[in-house]
Structure 1
Amino acid sequence: MKQLLIKPEIHKSNTFDEFYNEFNVGEKDLILTIDPIFSTYLKDRKEKFNVVFPEHYALGEPTDEMIDKILADTRKIDYDRVIAIGGGSILDIAKLFALRQAERSEQLYLREVPIIKEKKLVIIPTTCGTGSEVTNISIALVTKKNTKMGLAGDELSADFTVLIPELLLKLPYKVFVTSSVDALIHAAESFLSPKTCSYTELFSVKAMEIILKGYMEVIEKGQEHFRTIIEDFLVASNYAGIAFGNTGVGAVHAMSYPLGGVYHVPHGEANYQFFIEVFKYYEKKQPNGKIQEIKKLIANVIGTTENEAFEDLGQLLNNLLALKPLKEYGMKHEEIESFAKNVLETQQRLLKNNYVPFSEHDLINIYSKLY
């Protein structure tokens, strides 16, 4: 039985210049990034290269229609390597540009055409949460299904991952919190996954410890302190990515997808809404087992009792960023049942990684509690 796979070669550069020189960026590169990164680190370079700004096509998280527009505009570009510099959305989009292009990207997500990798792929995260730099998954809203869907396969893995802490120094505080909470959830869901093993636990446990200790420092020393320890969060996010890249994630992610797809709630923030409640529900359904181990880990790090671990973790996270009821995002009460049905119909890839199975009734109960 397979235990652990780390597909990309992982590099770490202190500065963007260090990366740029080491990887010999040039005219055969297609770079996907955002305006602020381009203006700060790429605009004045003498070398020629091709640049695409996904944000110019549509704001928010990627859809198949947005991806198709970008693909149409880049078909005539001659490139051998894709370099993605950005948050999770850009990294997920970039993975498709390393593949043989389908007529429509929807065909890839619906598995109607084969996945064939044709280009080298370099991924550089600019948030501390996605983990996409070390996973073989691309997520997009598939318009036909009106929900986010995941395309997974080793063909989507990066050839190189580069961690550059300098790129995260100007993150807005809210982006820091929501992205790092996403990494915490990756690690926690990986720890409880049926596919976990002693190797993935090494990465998930270390990621949780680093993130929780960092949160306690930020709460003690003030919001801006996160910039001082941002490298720790970037590494922890990478660890969490390695963990869940091997084990998958579960109900927290699955339940967040309709919220993100319909109401365009950013991925990390959407996951945050369901994190604590899903884990409490796990414990209610199966109090014996690994749920007790993760409670013990959390309690030891944040300094509380095992009985109060989830409650106090929720309070700690709320001190960083207030949790909102789902209705504040625009969700309607009558959508609770349709969201639950949607999750069961479209997210079995994730639900099979649950600590315990969830029925439609279970999903409805959680949505209702958080509404």
Structure 2
Amino acid sequence: MKTCFENLEINENDLIIIGSSSLQKVKEANRDKQAIILETKKYGTGEPHESWVNQILEESNKKDFHRVIAIGGGGIIDIAKFCVFGDGRSIQQLFSDKEKLNKKRELIAIPTTCGTGSEVTSVAVVEIEALKSKLGLQIDALFPDKSILIGDMLENLPYPVFSNTSIDALAHAIESLLSPKANAYTDLFAKRAIQIIVNNFLEIDGKRCLPNDLQNALIAANMAGIAFSIAGCATMHALSFPLGARYHLAHGEAVYAVMCSTLNYYKNIGVSLDKLEKALKDSFPVSSDRVKDLISLLRSNHQEPSFEEMKITKSECKDMAKVVYEKQQRLLVNSPRELSEKDLEIIYRNCLKKERT
């Protein structure tokens, strides 16, 4: 980190937005460089929420910073993205005025988890209280100007965070691969990301530890981010947003909660998963159903969040499906087949089954 800061020539015109996990490393690297450090936990915890992100926006606008440097997971990077405009707008105003926004600050993203992909995308997501869900702002101004991958930043990552964020990155890659917007280039990135992530889980299967090559894990997440920045995320991510907002699941947990049910529903309605099967060929060389083996591997390494334990009811599944169908078409248009509100409800309700397929 110290070498990184020296190369970036960090100075008093820089705003560093950071969570708590890497704070000590950053303080040491920032010594005598006089950048302002803004620690997000002083404003709120968990996934970015409209109310306290607005406080961070207000704080970030007190000085004419030239650069915003995000060091953290996807939530931290997304918060930093909202700060690049520096013009006093609130979250609600940023969404309302997205056609009028002008980027004033350079954005540098340094991820500290292996799942976000936010360091190479033009999307920032925040929880909106009135909707009881999350919304994503997607405009080119939100692309980071620089992304820096430092494997050492992951060395103290707790295993649950590693597995959650890896599964999120896997979902990015799978949804990109199956997207109608996919092309030969996004497929290259998505397939390689899937292979690295799956092989990481095979390496550590049953051990609940980090894989040996953390830099490679970062690269896989980055590749998945490049793929979905073009081909898009889809059903899994759309369905995850109400779960994160209503039941306070971390983003990776919320995606994982619906991931297996979504893949099984695709199979049941005849969506071709051949591209995914082929991407998994080297990881499961003798398998007759590689998607099934993938689901088994994930469950072996990380238990799915339980709809029963969260006390989610059938009526809540119906309500969430309605919200997703009405508010998340930005994502749903990237699904491999057009899905109705009823389809979304069925996927949610399938998560309620005690014996999941």
- TM-score, structure 1 length as denominator? 0.91
Q: For residue 320 of structure 1, what is the aligned residue in structure 2?
A: 301
| Aligned positions, number | 351
The letter for the 2-side match of 1:83 is I
- The CA RMSD measured in Å over matched residues stands at 1.6
Q: 2:249 aligns with which of 248, 255, 265?
A: 265
In 1: Cα distance, 2:53 partner to 2:351 partner: 32
Deviates more, 1:129-138 or 1:108-117: 108-117
Over the matched positions of the two proteins, sequence identity in percent amounts to 35
Deviates more, 1:320-329 or 1:88-97: 320-329
Q: For residue 181 of structure 1, what is the aligned residue in structure 2?
A: 167
**1:309 lines up with 2:257 in the alignment:** no
The question of whether the paired residues in 2 share the 8 Å contact of 1:286 and 1:356 is answered with no
Unaligned runs of 5+ in 1: 1-15
Q: CA deviation at 1:304?
A: 4.5
Unaligned runs of 5+ in 2: 353-357
Q: CA deviation at 1:156?
A: 0.5
**1:370 lines up with 2:336 in the alignment:** no
Q: 2:221 aligns with which of 212, 234, 237?
A: 237
Q: Secondary structure at the match of 1:163?
A: coil
The question of whether the paired residues in 1 share the 8 Å contact of 2:162 and 2:210 is answered with no
Encode CA deviations 1:247-294: one digit per residue, 9 max, x unaligned: 11100000111000111100011101111221221222234x4x1221
Encode CA deviations 1:286-322: one digit per residue, 9 max, x unaligned: 34x4x1221232244134434x222221110011111
Q: CA deviation at 1:114?
A: 2.0
Q: For residue 276 of structure 2, what is the aligned residue in structure 1?
A: 294
In 2: Cα distance, 1:111 partner to 1:270 partner: 29
Q: Secondary structure at the match of 1:358?
A: coil
Relative to 1, partners in 2 of residues 1:348 and 1:162: Cα closer, same or farther, differing over 3 Å? same
Relative to 1, partners in 2 of residues 1:339 and 1:70: Cα closer, same or farther, differing over 3 Å? same
The letter for the 2-side match of 1:298 is L
Q: CA deviation at 1:105?
A: 1.0
Q: CA deviation at 1:214?
A: 1.2
In 2: Cα distance, 1:45 partner to 1:154 partner: 33
Q: For residue 224 of structure 1, what is the aligned residue in structure 2?
A: 209
In 2: Cα distance, 1:123 partner to 1:74 partner: 16
Q: For residue 5 of structure 2, what is the aligned residue in structure 1?
A: 20
Q: Secondary structure at the match of 1:334?
A: helix
Deviation beyond 6 Å, 4+ runs, structure 1:
none
The question of whether the paired residues in 2 share the 8 Å contact of 1:195 and 1:247 is answered with yes
Q: CA deviation at 1:71?
A: 1.7
- TM-score, structure 2 length as denominator? 0.94
Q: 2:83 aligns with which of 75, 80, 97?
A: 97
Q: CA deviation at 1:330?
A: 4.0
The question of whether the paired residues in 1 share the 8 Å contact of 2:115 and 2:167 is answered with yes
Q: Secondary structure at the match of 2:323?
A: helix
Encode CA deviations 1:225-261: one digit per residue, 9 max, x unaligned: 42x2211110000000000011111000001110001
Q: 2:51 aligns with which of 56, 65, 68?
A: 65
The question of whether the paired residues in 2 share the 8 Å contact of 1:102 and 1:108 is answered with no
